[in-house]
Amino acid sequence: MSFWKIAWRNMRQRALASSLTGLSMALGVAVMICVIVIHSVAVRQFQQDAQGYHLIVGNGKGSPMELVLSTVFHVGTPLYPIPYDYYREFTDGKFAPFVEVAVPYCMGDSFVVGDKVFRVIGTSPDLFDKIKFDADEQGNLLGYKFSAGRNFKVENCYEAVLGSVVAAQSGLVVGDYFNPTHGISDGENPGKEHGAFEIVGVLKPTGTANDRGVFVNMEGFYLGDGHALTPKDDAELKRPIGPRGEPKVDEPRGTLAPPLCYDTGGAEVTPLPERQREVTSILVLCRQFGQLQIDQGVNKDPTSPAQAITPTRVVTQLLQNIVGPVQVVLLVLTILIVLVASISILVSIYNSMSERSHDIAVMRALGASRQAVMLIILVESILLSVLGGLAGIVLGHGLVGLAAPYVVESTGVRLNVLEFDEWEAVILPALVALASLVGLLPALNAYRTDVARSLSGVR
C-alpha cells in the first residue's frame, strides 16, 4: 500500500476536519487565482487599449499620463485642446507624409444614464474604419465590428456609435436618440443638454475602454453649445495659431470636413468653421519610420503647442508605477491568506497527532521506520494542500466565470473562465513546498513517537 493511500485513508478518517482544512486552503487559493487572473486581464487590457496607433498628440502642457488616461481610458480630465489647424498638419500638412491615419478626438461631453456616466467623444469615422485595435492568434489585425447598425457618416452631423457596454447599460439601440450633456459630468450635476444624436451603430465588445465610450460625429459635436472657439477666446488665450502662422480656416481641405452637413431630418447644416474648431487629442497611425519624424517634429519644436507620446510606453509606466504596486499588495495579501490556510493544516494535523500516535506506533511495530511515518504525515499535509489548492483553482476560475458577465457589462473587460496565467503553474509546486514546511512539525512528532509507550496505551 502506498504512502499516498495511507495518508488519504487518514484524511478520510477525519473527514470533517480534513474537509474544513482543505476548504480554507481552497478559499485562499481561489482568492489568489482571482487576483492573478484579474491582474493578467488588467495588464493585457491596459496594453491592448493603447493598441492600433503609434502616437497620441495632445496639448503640450499636460502630462503624458493625463493624455493617455483621458484619451485611451476615458478617465480623468481631458487636456486643454489644441488648434484644429495643428490637427490639419497631420492630415494634409507637414506631418501628412508620415501619417497613415490621424483620428481626432474631441472630448468634454458626457452621456448620463441613471447613475452611470459615459464619456462622449467627437471623432471621425476613420476611428472605426482604419484603426485596428487587436490581433487574433495568427497575428491578423482586427478592426472594430458592429453588433448592430453601421459606422456614422461624416456628412451626417448627428450620428453616433455606442460602445457595447454603453448600449447594454443604457438600453439604447440603433435608431434611438440621446442627448449628450456639456462637460465631464460627475453624475450628480449633469451639464446642459446638447442636441440629440441618432444612434446608427453599436460596436461589438472590444475588451477596451472604447466599450464604455459614446462616439459622435465630430461635425455634430462642434455644433453643440460651448464647443465653438470664439475670436475672443483666441485673443485672450493667446494660444499659438499654428506652426505655419494664420491657419487657412474656412477652407475645408481633403476629406476632413464636408462642405455640407445634414441633420437627422436631412436638412442642410453649416459645419463649424475650422477657425473655431479645436481637438483634444489626435490618434496617429504612422507610416514606416514616420513615428520618429513626428516625434522630432512635435516634441523637439519649441513653437509646437503639442506633445506626441507613445501610449504603450506610458501604459507600461502606468502598470509599473501604479497598477504594479497595487497588484503586489493584493498578491501579498492573498499569499498571507494561503499562509494562514497552511498553518490551519499544521494545526489540524498537529492536533490529531496525540490521537494517532497509537496508529503510528502500530505501523512502527509492523516495521515502518521513523522516516516512513514521518513521510506519511508529510504526504498527508501535501495531499491536503494540493487537493485544497486544486479545489481553489477550480473555485477561483468558477468565481471569475460567475463574475465575467457582470464585469464585461460594467467595464467591457472580458474575463475567460479557462484563462490560465503562467503564475498559476507556480501555485501547486509552491503549495507542495509550503505543505512540506508546515507538515514538518507534526511529521517530526510522528518521527519521535514512542512506540512502546504508545502501544501500552500511555500518551
Partner 1 sequence: MLRIENVKKSYREPDGGRLPILDVPLLEIAAGEQVVLRGRSGCGKTTLLNAIAGLTTIDSGMIAINGLDLSRLPEAGRDRFRARNLGYVFQTFNLLAAFTALENVLLGMTFTGQRSDPSRARKLLERVGLGHRVHHKPAAMSVGEQQRTAVARALANQPVLLLADEPTANVDPAHQQQVIDLLRGVCEQENVAMLLVTHSPEVSSQFGRVEQLEEVNRVATAQTPAPGPQPPAPCPQTPAPPSLAE
Q: Which residues bind partner 1 (CB under 8 A)?
A: 1, 5-6, 9-10, 12-13, 358-359, 362-372, 448, 450-453, 455-458
Give me the least distance between CB of 368 and partner 1, in Å please: 4
Give me the least distance between CB of 168 and partner 1, in Å please: 54
Closest CA to 194 of 280, 108, 124, 79: 108
Q: How many CB atoms lie within 10 A of CB 235?
A: 9
Task: Look at residue 160 and give its three-state secondary structure.
Answer: strand
Q: Which is nearer to partner 1, 219 or 380 (CB)?
A: 380
DSSP string covering 361-394: HHHHHTT--HHHHHHHHHHHHHHHHHHHHHHHHH
Q: Which is nearer to partner 1, 313 or 448 (CB)?
A: 448
Are 122 and 218 in contact, with CB atoms under 8 Å apart?
A: yes
Task: Look at residue 205 and give its three-state secondary structure.
Answer: coil
Give me the least distance between CB of 430 and partner 1, in Å please: 29
Cα–Cα distances (Å) from 230 to 61, 303, 412, in that order, read 21, 23, 38
In sequence order, what are the residues at sequence separation of 6 or more whose Cβ sits closer than 8 angstroms to the Cβ of residue 170? 111, 113, 116, 118, 162, 178
Are 131 and 142 in contact, with CB atoms under 8 Å apart?
A: no
Are 226 and 233 in contact, with CB atoms under 8 Å apart?
A: no
Cell of 52: 492600433
Crossing angle of helices 424-447 and 324-365, in 10° steps, is: 30
Q: Which is nearer to partner 1, 30 or 383 (CB)?
A: 383
Give me the least distance between CB of 1 and partner 1, in Å please: 5
Are 45 and 208 in contact, with CB atoms under 8 Å apart?
A: yes
Give me the least distance between CB of 446 and partner 1, in Å please: 13
Give me the least distance between CB of 450 and partner 1, in Å please: 4
Give me the least distance between CB of 453 and partner 1, in Å please: 5
Q: Which is nearer to partner 1, 134 or 359 (CB)?
A: 359
> Strands, E, within 46-205: which ranges?
55-59, 82-83, 99-113, 116-123, 132-135, 141-143, 146-149, 159-162, 177-178, 181-182, 197-203
Q: How many CB atoms lie within 10 A of CB 366?
A: 7
As a whole number of Å, the CA-based R_g of the chain is 31
Closest CA to 95 of 326, 293, 337, 251: 293
Q: Which is nearer to partner 1, 418 or 458 (CB)?
A: 458
Q: Which is nearer to partner 1, 176 or 359 (CB)?
A: 359
Give me the least distance between CB of 40 and partner 1, in Å please: 42
Q: Which is nearer to partner 1, 292 or 365 (CB)?
A: 365
In the numeric block, the cell 510606453 is attached to 313
Give me the least distance between CB of 390 and partner 1, in Å please: 22
Q: Which is nearer to partner 1, 65 or 451 (CB)?
A: 451
DSSP string covering 262-326: E-TTS-EEPPPPGGG-EESEEEEEE-TTHHHHHHHHHHS-TT-SEEEE-HHHHHHHHIIIIIHHH
Q: Which is nearer to partner 1, 6 or 261 (CB)?
A: 6
Q: Which is nearer to partner 1, 369 or 410 (CB)?
A: 369
Q: Which is nearer to partner 1, 266 or 457 (CB)?
A: 457
Instruction: State how far the Cα of 391 lies from the Cα of 393, in Å rounded to an integer.
Output: 5
Cell of 326: 497595487
Give me the least distance between CB of 375 and partner 1, in Å please: 11
Are 14 and 352 in contact, with CB atoms under 8 Å apart?
A: yes
Give me the least distance between CB of 402 and partner 1, in Å please: 36
